Amino acid sequence: MCCLEKGVQTIEALSHRLSSYLEPSQINLVKRAYFYAEQAHDGQKRRSGEAYITHPLAVADILAGMHMDHQSLMAAMLHDVIEDTGISKKAIAGQFGDSVADLVDGVSKLTQIEFESHAEKQAENFQKMALAMANDLRVILVKLADRLHNMRTLGAMPPDKKRRIAKETLEIYAPIAHRLGMNEVRLELEDRSFYCMYPLRATRLQAALKTARGNRKELVEQIQASFEKRLLKESINAIVIGREKHLFSIYEKMRLKKKFFKEIMDVYAFRIIVDTVDTCYRVLGVVHNLYKPVAGEFKDYIAIPKANGYQSLHTVLVGMHGVPIEVQIRTKEMDEMANSGIAAHFLYKSSSDEPINASHSRARQWVQGLLEMQKNAGNSLEFIENVKIDLFPDEVYVFTPKGKIVELPTGATPVDFAYAVHTDVGNTCVACRINERMAPLSQPLLSGQKVAIITAQGAQPNPNWLNFAVSAKARSAIRHYLKHQRHHQSVTLGKRMLSRALAEIHIDLEHMTEEQQLKLLHGAQVESMEKLSEEIGLGNKVVYSLVKFLQPDAELKVRAGTLNSAITIDSAEGMMISFARCCRPIPGDPIIGHVSSGKGLVIHQDTCRNIAEIRNYPDKVSQVNWAATVSGEFLVDVRVEVESDRGIIATLATRITEQGASIEHINVHERDAHNSVIHLCIGVHNRIHLANIMRRIRNLSFVIRVNRSKN
Ligand code: MN
């Protein structure tokens, strides 16, 4: 197993350690945070029996090893205070400032998230969400240190809990460390998790590794000595390290690449660390001179660094007895970067003149580069695919009430969420709660929010949703539904119109003979009765010319206009019915229907001038009636002449809404300094409703005249 770092035991020891890179004032702040936490956790014990404060101290110590700044260390001291002692974020902000409080709060939030499913996709989402939620990357670093210490002290846990934590570490935290280039942390998290999850396999592999190491020892020492000797001869100051593959990576190579243990162990790997870039290239020359290089294996990541900032020279040599030797050559700084990744960017920050934010944004840039590179690599197993700027700008991660994570595009709304959960939930959603509070369906969601959708039986998607739904799934489902609804409505209307026309020639639509149906379909050149109804409903086929296929003299009756059954309109919605804008009929008005191609039935007032012409084509005109129970809101235009005055619009609007009518729009035309004309479009139930509203308007002192208008 990895080196078990013996951490500091006391705050004094830590302070001493910090004095190597922090200012005394900063160290004092860290100490203050320690004493605050010690008091807050007073009486609490870890499972191992130790005082609880040993844990935050150890976490801070891990971060000190990465030379993290004093605020991160303070956050480490306080990271379990909100969660475990009920002290508020506000209280911490009051004591230690907003930055530290934000860090502590961020870590607490990550801790609170329950790791629900073991599905790979879920783990991937969690990694992304964890990163996306942490506005400040230091939150992730503190959390990783917290997890690392918990893994180091897992011994006291019951076995099943151990395994669960280890699995979570392998699936979530180790990959995050990997993404952030924090190799050392990642390796330790992996090996420790591996031991917890598969103790038997780990022990056996460890034993095999020990044997192999013993067998290899002589050869490793020989190669290492040959390197050192030659470098010394060339007067090059260098450190040569024999690299060991760690346990979990050997296990994964065996498992995933189906390699034998021996194959993996047959490669000898070395790292040579020097002081300057120039020296790196000199060392390359030296080792190529010592052993024959394998053609095509040399890579210069110094001249062309990896996008994540990784720099090194890589080469492969053929050693004595033909053994392959992998060599990495790099400077000390490059080595630090390769081991600590993003944490390396926080190094010595406090001693530089650079403000924290500049350094932080550089770190961010670096992470971004890392993410970009993985994206370009096209490796779908990598968890970052859709990254562009600022970690994960294109995605938000929200929770279902049961804690499942739902991934949505940025700007997604509760409607998108509802459709992501299930199409039926989307189709019937009427309201929502975000973090337990009622919220509009159009409100954009933020990562980490908990969203609950309220559905109602019989509810339908609103075409208006298309104005704010952003996910492909929601948009296509809404469109599909509306299209289907339109189809359904035109079929219903067409059926009614057909049934009415057939009644004129004493044929019952429901009891037509097969022969009659075939005649009708053949004449109309459509394949089914449903299609026929749809075509009629859409106004694409004229019903009376169809009837003629069944009874050629039907024409006479139609011309005579003796239709005795009219189509009944029972609501403002449904069917393929619309209301003409020219005359805006409302229930109570005598009306007439115009069958308009593609639009279905357009309802006009009987007296509308636009319909006068059309009346000469009885084919295109349809008798319609209002149902006695007609419901809904119907738009109507009202013209109001007023004496200009302040606040009249508001007064007018109040009068109208008081009467239970809605205002669609208001237009004001000033005629002169004294008089204005206001055009209103309002939604009313019927003529009586309208008459009441107009009477109320007329009573207003500044109103001169009010009348219903026509466009
Ligand atoms: Mn903790």
CA distance 94 to 77: 16
pLDDT digits (tens, 9 = 90+) for 54-74: 999 999 999 988 888 899 999
How many angstroms does the Cα of residue 370 sit away from the middle of ligand 1?
28
Amino acid at 227: F
Q: What is the CA radius of gyration of the chain?
A: 39
Return d(Cα 238, Cα 232) in angstroms, integer: 8
Q: What is the percent of the chain where pLDDT is above 90?
A: 27
The answer to the question of residue 473 being in a domain is: no
**Residue 469 tokens, joined:** 């739904």
CATH number of the structural domain spanning residue 663? 3.30.70.260
Considering only residues 488 and 2, tell me which one the structure prediction assigns the higher pLDDT.
488
CB neighbourhood size of 317 (10 A): 21
* pLDDT value, residue 391: 38
33 or 322: which leads in pLDDT:
33
Q: The domain that contains 194 carries what CATH number?
A: 1.10.3210.10
In b/e form, how buried is each residue of 238-261, taking b as 16+ CB within 10 angstroms?
bebebeeebbbebbebbeeeeeee
Q: How many CB atoms lie within 10 A of CB 292?
A: 10
Tens-place pLDDT, residues 211-270: 888 888 888 899 999 999 999 999 999 999 988 778 898 888 888 877 788 877 778 899
Nearest to 652 by CA among 679, 615, 633: 679
pLDDT in tens, 476-513: 888 888 888 888 888 888 888 888 888 878 888 888 88
Distance 149 CA to ligand 1 centre (A): 8
3-state secondary structure string, 657-686? HHCCCEEEEEEEEECCCCEEEEEEEEEECC
**pLDDT exceeds cutoff 70 at 609:** yes
Most confident residue range from 190-204, 544-558, 559-573, 621-635: 190-204
Spatial neighbors of 545 by CB under 8 A, at least 6 apart, are 619
- Same-domain status, 661 and 566: no
* Residue type present at position 168: E
Q: Which two tokens stand for residue 86?
A: 């009920």
Distance 75 CA to ligand 1 centre (A): 11
242 CA from centroid of ligand 1 (Å): 35
711 vs 94, more confident = 94
Closest CA to 445 of 411, 405, 406: 411
**53 Cα to the center of ligand 1, angstroms:** 10
* Listed residue (162, 161, 115, 616) closest to 403, CA to CA: 115
**Tokens 């006695």, residue located:** 628
Domain that holds residue 651: 634-708
Residue 150 Cα to ligand 1 midpoint, Å, equals 7
State the burial class of residue 147 (Cβ atoms within 10 Å of its Cβ: 0-12, 13-18, 19+). buried
pLDDT in tens, 269-297: 999 999 999 999 999 999 999 999 988 88
Half-sphere exposure of 200 (CA within 13 A, CB side): 0
Give 113's DSSP letter. Answer: S
Which residues are identified as catalytic?
Answer: 83-84
Q: Looking at residue 129, what is its pLDDT?
A: 60
Are 245 and 138 part of one and the same domain? no
Same domain membership, residue 626 and residue 501: yes
CA of 48 to the centre of ligand 1 (A): 14
Enumerate the β-bridge partners of residue 594. 602, 621
Confidence of residue 571 (pLDDT cuts 50, 70, 90): low
Is residue 179 located within the same domain as residue 233?
no
Task: Report yes or no: 556 and 617 within 8 Å, Cβ to Cβ.
Answer: no
Dihedral angle at the C-alpha atoms of 624, 630, 635, 641, nearest 10 degrees? 100
Q: Residue 357: which pLDDT band, with cuts at 50, 70 and 90?
A: very low
Structural domain includes residue 448: no
**How many angstroms does the Cα of residue 56 sit away from the middle of ligand 1?**
7
Query: What pLDDT was estimated at residue 120?
Result: 46
Averaged pLDDT of the chain: 81
Residue that has been written with the tokens 């004092």 in this structure: 28
Locus of tokens 């390290």? 241
Answer yes or no: do 590 and 695 share one domain.
no
Distance 103 CA to ligand 1 centre (A): 13
Whether the CB-CB separation of 41 and 53 falls below 8 Å is answered with: yes
If asked whether residues 195 and 270 sit together in one domain, one would say: no
Asked whether residue 361 carries a pLDDT value surpassing 70, the answer given is no
Q: Is residue 463 part of a domain?
A: no
How crowded is residue 650: how many other Cβ atoms within 10 Å of its Cβ? 9
pLDDT band at 374, cuts 50/70/90? very low
CA of 201 to the centre of ligand 1 (A): 29
Q: Can you give the pLDDT at residue 11?
A: 92
In a domain? residue 699: yes
Query: Domain count of the chain?
Result: 4
What's the gap in Å between 661 CA and the centre of ligand 1? 59
pLDDT computed for residue 417 by the predictor: 96
Q: From ligand 1's centre to the CA of 335, what distance in Å?
A: 29
Residue 248 CA to ligand 1 centre (angstroms): 25
Most confidently predicted of 2-11, 197-206, 403-412, 546-555: 197-206
With beta carbons less than 8 A apart as the criterion, state whether 708 and 695 touch.
Answer: no
CATH of the domain at 232: 3.30.460.10
Report yes or no on 492 lying in a domain: yes
Let me know whether 226 and 324 are in one domain: yes
pLDDT on residue 53? 94
Please determine, for residue 385, whether its predicted confidence score (pLDDT) is greater than 70.
Answer: no
Does residue 99 form part of some domain?
yes
H or E stretch covering 327: strand 324-331
Q: Is 673 exposed, middle or buried (0-12, 13-18, 19+ CB in 10 A)?
A: exposed
From the CA of 107, how far away is ligand 1's center (Å)?
A: 9
DSSP sequence for 514-571: HHHHHHHHHHHT-S-HHHHHHHHHTTSS-HHHHHTTT-TTHHHHHHHT----PEEEEE
pLDDT band at residue 689 under the 50/70/90 scheme: very high
- Of 602, 631, 660, the position where a domain reaches its end is 631
Instruction: Calculate how far, in angstroms, residue 55's C-alpha sits from the geometric centre of ligand 1.
Output: 7
Q: For 77-107, b where at least 16 C-beta lie within 10 A, e where not — what string? A: bbbbbbeeeebeeeebbeebeebbbbbbbbb
Task: Using the predicted structure, report yes or no on whether residue 323 has a pLDDT greater than 90.
Answer: no
Residue 367 domain flag? no
Whether 388 has a pLDDT exceeding 60, the answer reads no
Residue 2 tokens read as: 């990895």
Burial of 336 (0-12, 13-18, 19+ CB in 10 A): middle
> Which residue matches tokens 């929502």?
432
Please say which residue of 304, 327, 343 terminates a domain: 343
Q: Give the residue from 293, 316, 343 where a domain finishes.
A: 343
Q: Are 20 and 90 in the same domain?
A: yes
Same domain, 624 and 614: yes
Q: How confident is the model at residue 614 (pLDDT cuts 50, 70, 90)?
A: confident
Q: How many CA atoms lie within 13 A of 236 on its CB side?
A: 27
Residue 303's contacts (CB-CB under 8 Å, 6 or more residues apart) are: none
Instruction: Please report which confidence band the pLDDT of residue 535 belongs to, taking 50, 70 and 90 as the band edges.
Output: confident
Q: Binning pLDDT at 50, 70 and 90, where does residue 354 land?
A: very low
Instruction: Find tokens 């669960």 and name the residue.
Output: 164
Of 622, 515, 524, nearest to 565 by C-alpha is 622
In sequence order, what are the residues at sequence separation of 6 or more whose Cβ sits closer than 8 angstroms to the Cβ of residue 481? 427, 460, 461
Q: Do residues 164 and 290 share a domain?
A: no
Query: Which parts of 343-499 are beta strand (E)?
Result: 395-399, 405-409, 429-434, 437-439, 451-455
Q: Residue 307: which pLDDT band, with cuts at 50, 70 and 90?
A: low
pLDDT digits 0-9 by tens, 393-428 = 467 778 888 777 788 888 899 999 999 999 999 999
Residue 386 pLDDT: 31
Residues 6 or more apart whose CB falls under 8 angstroms from that of 480 comprise: none
Residue with token string 């509308």: 608
| 661 in the same domain as 673 | yes
Q: Helix (H, G, I), strand (E, B), or coil: what is residue 455?
A: strand
Residues paired with 271 in a beta bridge: 241, 328
Phi and psi at residue 637, to the nearest 5°: -95, 135
pLDDT-above-70 percentage for the chain: 84
Q: In the prediction, which pLDDT does 691 show?
A: 93
Q: Specify whether 674 is located in the same domain as 540.
A: no
Closest CA relative to residue 8, chosen from 42, 39, 32, 31: 31
Per-residue model confidence (pLDDT) at position 347: 44
- 410 CA distance to ligand 1 middle (Å): 31
Look at residue 384 and tell me whether its pLDDT is greater than 50.
no
Judge whether 27 and 19 are in contact, CB under 8 Å. Answer: yes
User: Ligand 1 centre from 448 Cα, in Å?
Assistant: 20
Q: How many angstroms does the Cα of residue 215 sit away from the middle of ligand 1?
A: 41
> 70 C-alpha vs ligand 1 centroid, how far in Å?
18
How far lies 3's CA from each of 6, 118, 189, 269, in Å?
9, 30, 12, 19
User: What's the gap in Å between 23 CA and the centre of ligand 1?
Assistant: 26
Per the CB < 8 A criterion, the answer to whether 87 and 170 are in contact is no
Q: Does a structural domain hold residue 391?
A: no
How many whole angstroms from 344 Cα to the centroid of ligand 1? Answer: 23
pLDDT of residue 378: 37
Residue with tokens 């580069």: 369
